[in-house]
C-alpha cells in the first residue's frame, strides 16, 4: 500500500495531463460553437458513437435535421434513445421549427444518398479508426459525394502524446495517430482536390512548458469553396446575433437530383427516428396559440376588474387607472412602443357577465404576436383551435366574468 502511494507521488506533477472540461466535452462544445456561428439546418455526425453530440445539438433552434451514422449502434443506443426522443416538455413548449433525428447503422465510407444536401458534417475522432483502405475511400465519399457546405474533422495529435505517461495510441482501436504535419498535409490535399478551404485549430491546450506540441485534439474546418449551382450554400456566420429562420441563405438542391439518387443509393439501415413537435405543425401551433390567448385574456380580465373596482370605490386616481395601467401588469415585459401600440387598439370591455378582449388588442401582446402576425390569421386559427368563444362579429375573444364581478356593466 505504502509502496503504491510512494510510486504515485513520485510521478512528476507536470506529466499528469488533465483537461477541464474533459477533452471529449471540449470537442462537443467546439462543434456547438460552430453550429451557433454558422446556423446549419441539416447536420450529420459520422461515427456518432453513443450520440451524445446529437443530444447536445438538438437544443439548437436552427437545426432541423440531425443524422447520426455509426458502424455499431445497438449497444450504444439503448441509453440515449430517450434523450433523442421528444420529452413532455417538447410537447408543452414546442420548438419554432421542425426537427427530425435519424440514426443509421452504416459505414461512413459508403455512399448513401440520404446524406446529400447537408450543411455540416462532423467526424469527431473518426478517421483514426479507419484502416488504410477505408481512409482512402473517405474523402471521395464525404467531400466528393456528400459534398456538404462544411466538414469538421477532429483526430488525435500525436505531437502531444509524449506528454502522456504511456507512449501508445490513445485507444486500442486506433489504426494511426497523425502528428500535425501529417494531418495538415492530408487535409490540405483533400481540400484542394474537392474545392474546399481548410483551417486548422484544436482543443486541449498544452501546458505552458510544452506549447510547441500543439492542441491535444487537432481539428480541420473545411468549407466548400464555390458550391455547384443547385447545391446547398451555408449561411454566412452571424456572430452573436440571433438569426430568424428566414435569414438562412440556403439554396435548395435540385429535388430531382436527390430523388434520382435515392433510387440507386441507400446502403445504411435506419435504427432510430424521432420527429419533434414544432409550431410548424398546425395542431401544436393551435395548442400553443389557444393556451397563450386564454392566459392573456384571463390576465387582462383580472386587471380590468381590479381597475373597475378601484374606480367604484372612489379611491384617489393613480397611474394604475390610466390606459397604460390596464396594459401593464407584473411579470409582463413590454417595451414602451409595445405598450403604446396596445393602448391604441380597441379596449377590452364587459357586457353583463361576459368579458371581451378584441383580437386587434390581443395581437399586440408579444407572446401572441410571436405565433401569428395578423388579426385575420388569429381569427381563423382561434375558430379551429380548442373551442374558443368569440363574439358574434368574430372580433373579440369572450370569457365569463366571475359572478362576484358583475352586475355592473363596465364600459
**Which residues form the interface with ligand SAH (CB under 6 A)?**
24, 27, 46-49, 69-72, 107-109, 124-126, 129-130, 134
The nearer residue to ligand SAH, 84 or 289, going by C-beta atoms, is: 84
CB of 124 to ligand SAH, least distance (A): 4
The nearer residue to ligand SAH, 127 or 401, going by C-beta atoms, is: 127
CB of 264 to ligand SAH, least distance (A): 21
CB of 337 to ligand SAH, least distance (A): 47
The nearer residue to ligand SAH, 141 or 363, going by C-beta atoms, is: 141
The nearer residue to ligand SAH, 109 or 187, going by C-beta atoms, is: 109
CB of 59 to ligand SAH, least distance (A): 17
The nearer residue to ligand SAH, 21 or 352, going by C-beta atoms, is: 21
CB of 378 to ligand SAH, least distance (A): 45
CB of 162 to ligand SAH, least distance (A): 23
The nearer residue to ligand SAH, 125 or 159, going by C-beta atoms, is: 125
**Mapped to the 3 state alphabet, what secondary structure does the chain carry?**
CHHHHHHHHHCCHHHCCCCCCCHHHHHHHHHHHHHHHHCCCEEEEECCCCCHHHHHHCCCCCCCEEEEEECCCHHHHHHHHHHHCCCHHHHHCCECCCEEEEEEECCCCCCCHHHCCCCEEEEECCHHHCCHHHHHHHHHHHHHHHCCCEEEEEEECHHHHHHCCCCCCCCCCCCCCCCHHHHHHHHHHHHHHCCEEEEEEEECCCCHHHHHHCCCEEEEEEEECCCCCCCCCCCCCCCCCCCCHHHCCCCCCCHHHHHHHHHHCCCCEEEEEEEECECCCHHHHHHHHHHHHHHHHHHHHHHHHHHHHHHHCCCCCCHHHCHHHHHCCCCCCCCHHHHHHHHHCCCCEEECCEEEEEHHHHCCCHHHHCCCCCHHHHHHHHHHCCCCCECCCCCEEEEECCCCCCCCCCC
Amino acid at each position: 500500500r505504502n509502496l503504491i502511494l510512494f510510486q504515485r507521488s513520485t510521478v512528476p506533477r507536470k506529466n499528469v495531463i488533465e483537461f477541464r472540461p474533459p477533452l471529449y466535452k471540449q470537442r462537443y462544445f467546439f462543434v456547438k460553437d460552430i453550429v451557433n456561428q454558422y446556423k446549419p439546418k441539416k447536420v450529420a455526425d459520422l461515427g456518432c458513437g453513443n450520440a451524445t453530440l446529437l443530444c447536445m445539438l438538438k437544443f439548437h433552434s436552427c437545426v432541423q435535421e440531425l443524422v447520426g451514422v455509426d458502424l455499431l449502434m445497438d449497444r450504444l443506443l439503448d441509453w440515449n434513445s430517450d434523450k433523442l426522443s421528444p420529452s413532455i416538455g417538447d410537447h408543452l413548449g414546442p420548438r419554432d421549427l421542425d426537427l427530425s433525428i435519424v440514426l443509421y447503422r452504416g459505414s461512413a465510407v459508403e455512399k448513401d444518398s440520404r446524406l446529400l444536401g447537408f450543411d455540416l458534417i462532423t467526424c469527431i475522432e473518426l478517421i483514426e479508426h479507419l484502416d488504410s483502405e477505408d481512409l482512402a475511400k473517405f474523402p471521395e465519399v464525404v467531400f466528393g459525394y456528400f459534398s456538404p457546405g462544411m466538414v469538421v474533422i477532429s483526430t488525435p495529435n500525436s505531437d502531444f502524446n509524449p506528454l502522456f505517461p504511456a507512449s501508445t495510441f490513445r485507444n486500442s482501436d486506433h489504426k494511426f495517430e497523425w502528428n500535425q504535419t501529417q494531418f495538415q498535409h492530408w487535409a490540405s490535399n483533400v481540400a484542394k482536390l474537392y474545392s474546399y478551404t481548410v483551417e486548422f485549430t484544436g482543443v486541449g491546450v498544452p501546458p505552458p512548458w510544452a506549447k510547441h506540441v500543439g492542441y491535444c485534439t487537432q481539428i480541420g474546418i473545411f468549407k466548400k469553396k464555390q458550391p455547384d449551382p443547385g447545391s446547398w450554400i451555408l449561411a454566412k456566420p452571424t456572430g452573436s446575433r440571433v438569426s430568424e429562420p428566414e435569414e438562412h441563405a440556403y439554396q435548395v438542391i435540385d429535388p430531382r437530383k436527390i430523388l434520382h439518387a435515392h433510387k440507386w443509393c441507400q446502403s445504411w439501415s435506419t435504427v432510430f427516428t424521432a420527429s419533434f413537435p414544432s409550431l410548424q405543425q398546425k395542431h401544436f401551433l393551435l395548442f400553443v396559440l389557444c393556451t397563450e390567448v386564454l392566459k392573456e385574456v384571463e390576465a387582462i380580465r383580472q386587471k380590468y376588474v381590479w381597475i373597475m373596482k378601484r374606480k367604484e370605490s372612489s379611491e384617489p386616481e393613480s397611474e394604475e387607472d390610466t390606459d397604460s395601467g390596464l396594459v401593464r401588469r407584473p411579470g409582463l415585459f413590454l417595451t414602451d412602443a409595445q405598450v403604446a401600440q396596445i393602448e391604441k387598439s380597441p379596449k377590452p370591455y364587459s357586457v353583463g357577465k361576459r368579458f371581451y378582449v378584441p383580437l386587434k388588442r390581443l395581437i399586440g401582446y408579444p407572446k401572441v404576436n410571436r405565433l401569428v402576425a395578423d388579426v385575420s390569421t388569429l381569427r381563423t386559427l382561434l375558430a379551429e383551435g380548442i373551442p374558443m368563444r368569440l363574439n358574434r362579429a368574430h372580433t373579440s375573444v369572450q370569457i365569463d366574468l366571475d359572478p362576484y364581478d358583475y352586475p355592473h356593466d363596465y364600459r
